[in-house]
């Protein structure tokens, strides 16, 4: 595995060439780091599932660089889906649509739908554009973590997560810290309905306001601890409590305005929900690096973005992020 820190044209071209040749390239986006592969190369996509230890029925998001590509990957595209894409792309929004023949079972987890997104990150966009210039079309990229673990928001996190599982010729592009810090909003357009599959920085009411339609929320999918086999991949390793009752020696994550309970170890002090999202995964990782047994987290409550953050805290509290 090679780490590329410069975002020079040549470095990115080389990374795009790697994708064309079937290698994996981890890259930064505005949300979290993704582990990329050529979406049309079954072998390369298969390696993503192996590296992440992710069940094969979990669909991957296809990352594209222009709205025109939506027509290649999807069909029967509702107009409001296209309008929404035009409004929020490039950005932290994944749109799930009826798939075209191009979107094969090996990336949709056998579903008739495909998730698409244009990320808002210079390095990611350049990579996608160079890849397309070389004849590529679409890069699948799940978060670059082990299944069930916290998504990486720096290149170092990617190394910690999957560095040992990448091959000699795979790449990690280092684009610094991710500006949003939690994964994209995922919305599914099925016939007449719009469903929020995963909350994120683009909020449910923004989508409702924009489309003029009610967006249904999925049933709460709380994570839970599998006994045994996935032991290593709990997210995080420390047990997460949604409470301010930290005891001496426990980790503590809360907005800056909240005082640290006596003897607790402060892991982050964000000033607002935006900073909270940026720092949350780093703080959970820090708790694990410090080998803390327990981390107490007080979620932010003001503003709709707080609900998306709370979703991720609940997943960490459940011990296993089934989003993978
Ligand atoms: O912010 C993000 O979306 C990041 C960056 C790298 O783009 N990617 C990411 O991918 O979080 P992943 O694979 O870790 O999570 C993908 C989410 C899952 O919740 C998955 O179920 C949903 O998107 N998803 C993708 N394709 C889908 C489909 N066809 N139908 C339903 N859900 C889908
Ligand atoms: Mg993930």
CB of 223 within 6 A of ligand 1: the answer is no
Comparing 222 with 48, the larger pLDDT belongs to: 48
Dump pLDDT digits (tens) for 164-221.
999 999 999 999 999 999 999 999 999 889 999 999 999 999 999 999 999 998 765 4
Is it the case that residue 3 has pLDDT exceeding 50? yes
CB of 322 within 6 A of ligand 1: the answer is no
- How many A from CA of 103 to the centre of ligand 1? 14
d(CA 108, CA 97): 11
Dump pLDDT digits (tens) for 50-65.
999 999 999 999 999 9
CB of 179 within 6 A of ligand 1: the answer is no
Closest ligand 1 atom to residue 323 Cα is 19
Are 41 and 64 in contact by the 8 Å Cβ rule? The answer is no
At 6 the pLDDT is: 76
Is it the case that residue 76 has pLDDT exceeding 50? yes
CB of 32 within 6 A of ligand 1: the answer is yes
d(CA 178, CA 243): 27
Average of per-residue pLDDT values in the chain: 93
CB of 308 within 6 A of ligand 1: the answer is no
Dump pLDDT digits (tens) for 147-159.
999 999 999 999 9
Q: In which residue are the tokens 């410069």 written?
A: 6
- How many A from CA of 197 to the centre of ligand 2? 13
At 232 the pLDDT is: 43
Closest ligand 1 atom to residue 183 Cα is 1
Per-domain residue ranges for the chain? 2-211, 239-316
Domain covering 2-211, topology: DHBP synthase (3.90.870)
d(CA 108, CA 142): 12
């Amino acid at each position: 595995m090679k780490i590329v820190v410069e975002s020079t044209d040549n470095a990115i071209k080389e990374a795009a060439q790697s994708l064309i040749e079937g290698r994996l390239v981890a890259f930064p986006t505005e949300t979290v780091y993704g582990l990329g592969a050529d979406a049309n190369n079954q072998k390369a996509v298969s390696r993503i599932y192996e590296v992440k230890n992710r069940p094969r029925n979990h669909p991957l998001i296809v990352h594209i660089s222009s709205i025109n590509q939506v027509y290649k990957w999807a069909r029967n595209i509702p107009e409001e889906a296209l309008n929404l894409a035009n409004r929020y792309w490039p950005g932290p929004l994944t749109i799930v649509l009826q798939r075209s023949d191009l979107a094969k079972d090996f990336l949709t987890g056998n579903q008739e739908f495909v998730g698409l997104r244009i990320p808002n990150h210079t390095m990611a966009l350049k990579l996608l554009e160079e890849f397309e210039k070389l004849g590529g079309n679409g890069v699948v990229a799940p978060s670059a973590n082990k299944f069930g673990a916290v998504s990486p928001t720096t290149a170092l996190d990617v190394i910690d997560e999957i560095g040992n599982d990448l091959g000699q010729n795979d790449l990690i592009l280092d684009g610094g810290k991710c500006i949003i810090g939690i994964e994209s909003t995922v919305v599914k357009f099925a016939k007449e309905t719009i469903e929020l599959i995963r909350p994120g920085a683009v909020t449910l009411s923004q989508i409702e306001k924009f489309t003029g339609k009610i967006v249904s929320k999925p049933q709460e999918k709380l994570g839970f601890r599998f006994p045994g086999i996935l032991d290593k991949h709990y997210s995080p390793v420390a047990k997460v409590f949604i409470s301010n009752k930290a005891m001496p020696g426990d980790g503590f994550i809360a907005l800056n305005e909240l005082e640290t309970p006596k003897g607790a170890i402060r892991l982050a002090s964000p000033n607002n929900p935006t900073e909270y999202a940026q720092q949350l995964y780093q703080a959970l990782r820090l708790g694990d690096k410090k080998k803390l047994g327990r981390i107490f987290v007080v979620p932010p409550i003001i503003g709709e973005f707080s609900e998306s953050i709370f979703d991720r805290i609940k997943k960490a509290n459940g011990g296993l992020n089934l989003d993978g």
